[in-house]
């Protein structure tokens, strides 16, 4: 009945308390709307656009290049008549991209997920953080940034989603963390000077634009500094960038822990 769903089932399991509405898409930021062509279930998303002209107009106004993609999926997918089926398809359309919505709508629920956890020793066994200038890029709710802050001299938490940045700023005040600075930015455009970091860490965040990202993060790391990428999955996916990262072009080493059901990968290199 539905086009191939990659994420909706898993996201429904991860966030059982969340109820999604079409209007939640009005929370999306421009850079997230750019991701939609690669992420949406097209048939179901076309149904959602038909039932919610406000969302359709919002997406085009916020990011005009999406217009041709939305026009095409509307042309290629005929709408269903049955009301229950329409509602079911709209829900599937939303849940397939629920991570993007929940980042903006419920950052505290994302932060509370205990399925994704790292211990400080999994980072400090690669390099000491004592007295170091560290960045967590694609920081989300700041799980890694707050984990490393007690050990580092300074931590920059770089994150493009506004609600996540607000969440981190409020948490830093609440918890008296005064060496953590929250910044807007993306992995392929990091708002830090050349060679300014001792350690750059990402956690389940690379891969939106892999080559530009790997190049950009090496720009901001000092010579002799460290790049560390943490990846954790309980979706039995392999890292699609594994070959690129360990290739002679990028030269990452990889530690692998866990099993097929909960795989933890740590990529690291000295720059």
Ligand X SMILES: C[S@@+](CC[C@H](N)C(=O)[O-])C[C@H]1O[C@@H](n2cnc3c(N)ncnc32)[C@H](O)[C@@H]1O
Q: Does 241 bind ligand X (CB under 6 A)?
A: no
Answer whether 161's CB lies under 8 Å from 192's CB.
no
- Indicate which single residue of 143, 165, 171, 269 sits in contact with ligand X (rule: CB under 6 A): 143
User: At its nearest, how many Å lie between ligand X and the CB of residue 7?
Assistant: 11
User: At its nearest, how many Å lie between ligand X and the CB of residue 79?
Assistant: 31
**Cα(59)–Cα(29) distance, integer angstroms:** 9
Q: Does 204 bind ligand X (CB under 6 A)?
A: yes
Rank residues 90 and 241 by Cβ distance to ligand X and give the closer one.
241
The one segment of 58-66, 200-208, 243-251, 259-267 that binds ligand X by CB under 6 A: 200-208
Q: Does 139 bind ligand X (CB under 6 A)?
A: yes
Q: What are the backbone angles phi and psi of residue 117, rounded to the nearest 5°?
A: -140, 135
- Indicate which single residue of 41, 205, 214, 228 sits in contact with ligand X (rule: CB under 6 A): 205
Q: Does 138 bind ligand X (CB under 6 A)?
A: yes
- Indicate which single residue of 15, 164, 250, 252 sits in contact with ligand X (rule: CB under 6 A): 164
Q: Does 208 bind ligand X (CB under 6 A)?
A: yes
How many residues of this chain interact with ligand X, rule: CB under 6 A? 18
Site string for ligand X, 69-108 (x = CB under 6 A): ----------------------------------x-----
- Indicate which single residue of 140, 149, 245, 266 sits in contact with ligand X (rule: CB under 6 A): 140
Q: Does 135 bind ligand X (CB under 6 A)?
A: no
- Sequential DSSP letters for the chain: --PPPSSHHHHHHH-TT----GGGGGG--HHHHHHHHHHS-HHHHHHHHHH-HHHHHHHHHH-GGGHHHHHHHHHHSPPP--HHHHHHHHHHHHHHTHHHHHHHH-HHHHHH--SS---HHHHHTTS--TT-EEEEES-TTTHHHHHHTTTSSEEEEE-S-HHHHHHHHHHHHHHT--SEEEE--BTTB-SS-TT-EEEEEEES---SSHHHHHHHHHHHEEEEEEEEEEEEESS----TTHHHHHSTTT--EEEEEEETTEEEEEEEEE-
Q: Does 168 bind ligand X (CB under 6 A)?
A: no
Q: Does 162 bind ligand X (CB under 6 A)?
A: no
Q: Site residues for ligand X, window 1-20 (CB under 6 A)?
A: none
Contacts with ligand X, residue ranges (CB under 6 A): 103, 116, 137-140, 143-144, 159-161, 164, 186-187, 203-205, 208
């Amino acid at each position: 009945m539905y086009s191939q769903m990659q994420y909706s089932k898993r996201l429904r399991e991860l966030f059982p308390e969340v109820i999604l509405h079409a209007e939640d898409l009005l929370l999306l930021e421009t850079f997230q709307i750019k991701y939609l062509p690669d992420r949406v279930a097209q048939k179901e998303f076309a149904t959602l656009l038909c039932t919610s002209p406000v969302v359709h107009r919002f997406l085009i106004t916020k990011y005009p290049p999406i217009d041709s993609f939305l026009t095409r999926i509307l042309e290629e997918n005929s709408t269903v008549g049955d009301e229950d089926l329409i509602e079911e398809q709209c829900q599937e359309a939303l849940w397939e991209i629920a991570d993007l919505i929940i980042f903006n709508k419920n950052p505290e629920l994302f932060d509370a997920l205990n399925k994704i956890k790292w211990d400080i020793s999994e980072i400090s066994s690669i390099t000491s953080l004592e007295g170091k200038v560290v960045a967590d890029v694609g920081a989300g709710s700041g799980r890694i940034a707050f984990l490393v802050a007690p050990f580092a001299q300074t931590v920059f938490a770089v994150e493009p989603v506004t609600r996540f940045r607000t969440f981190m700023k409020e948490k830093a005040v609440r918890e008296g963390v005064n060496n953590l600075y929250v910044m807007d930015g993306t992995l392929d455009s990091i708002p830090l000077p050349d060679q300014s970091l001792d350690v750059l860490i990402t956690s389940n965040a690379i891969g939106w634009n892999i080559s530009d990202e790997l190049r950009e993060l090496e720009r901001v790391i000092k010579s002799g500094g460290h790049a560390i990428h943490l990846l954790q999955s309980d979706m039995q996916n392999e890292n699609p960038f594994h070959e690129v990262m360990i290739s002679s072009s990028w030269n990452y080493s990889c530690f692998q822990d866990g099993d097929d059901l909960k795989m933890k990968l740590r990529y690291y290199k000295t720059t």
